[in-house]
Amino acid sequence: MMKLSSREMVLAGMFAAAIGVLSQFTIPFGPIPLTLQTFAVGFVVTILGKKTGTLAILIYLLMGFIGLPVFAGGSAGIGVVFGPTGGFLVGFIFNGLITGWMIEKTSSNYFWSILANILGAFVTLFFGALWLKFGASMSWPSAFSVGMIPFLIPGLIKAVAAGYLGHLISQRLPRSFSYSK
């Protein structure tokens, strides 16, 4: 069982709320909108690290699951989690784990923070496309052309921004506030 300090629990809750706020910035783009959710996930994990950052993502998902309007465009509920975009939401968990792990296992600098966020963003897109394949009964080419291909460039931009800004801010915060080696 994972032990968490009071500080880690409070930070996870605060940053889960931040993910919820940033998720409201959306641009309609067919059935899957462009949002700042993916930016927020990478940003949070870059600052808080794997354990606390992933906990923040889980709290965010739980808030939306129980009906708080924190998902993209103020949506919420079990229908969103199990709907067409649910794979992206599930992918956020693995994004957090992989991004956080990579940042913690490498030298903490801009290059590794950005690279970890790019890999994490790709993981989120992969889970989204995978979900579309099986959840919406799409073919592999259709699932990837709808759920991944159009989001590669925006995802890359958001990942670079999340890695850069997350690292920049984490270097300026007190050690007790963010993940640091």
Q: What is the pLDDT of residue 108?
A: 80
CB 113 within 8 A of CB 167: yes
Q: What is the pLDDT of residue 32?
A: 72
**CB neighbours of residue 7 within 10 Å:** 11
Instruction: Give 19-27's long-range contacts (Cβ < 8 A, gap of 24+).
Output: 19/44, 19/56, 19/57, 19/60, 19/70, 20/60, 20/63, 20/64, 20/68, 20/70, 23/70, 23/71, 23/72, 24/72, 24/73, 24/74, 26/72, 26/73
Q: What is the pLDDT of residue 179?
A: 63
CB 168 within 8 A of CB 131: no
Name the band, by pLDDT with cuts 50, 70 and 90, for residue 180: low
CB 58 within 8 A of CB 106: no
Q: What is the pLDDT of residues 12-66, one digit of tens each?
A: 999 999 999 999 998 887 767 788 999 999 999 999 999 999 999 999 999 999 9
> Average of pLDDT values for 131-144?
93
Degrees (nearest 5) of the Cα angle 119, 121, 123? 70
Using CA atoms, how far apart are residues 142 and 148, in angstroms rounded to an integer? 10
Q: What is the pLDDT of residues 83-119, one digit of tens each?
A: 988 999 999 999 999 999 999 999 889 999 999 999 9
> Average of pLDDT values for 146-162?
95
Q: What is the pLDDT of residue 100?
A: 96
CB 64 within 8 A of CB 109: no
Using CA atoms, how far apart are residues 96 and 76, in angstroms rounded to an integer? 21
Please say if the pLDDT value at position 123 is more than 70.
Answer: yes
Please, what is the average pLDDT of the chain? 93
> Average of pLDDT values for 153-167?
96
Please say if the pLDDT value at position 1 is more than 60.
Answer: no
pLDDT: is 93 or 177 the higher one?
Answer: 93
34 forms beta bridges with 27
Q: What is the pLDDT of residue 178?
A: 62
Please say if the pLDDT value at position 181 is more than 50.
Answer: no
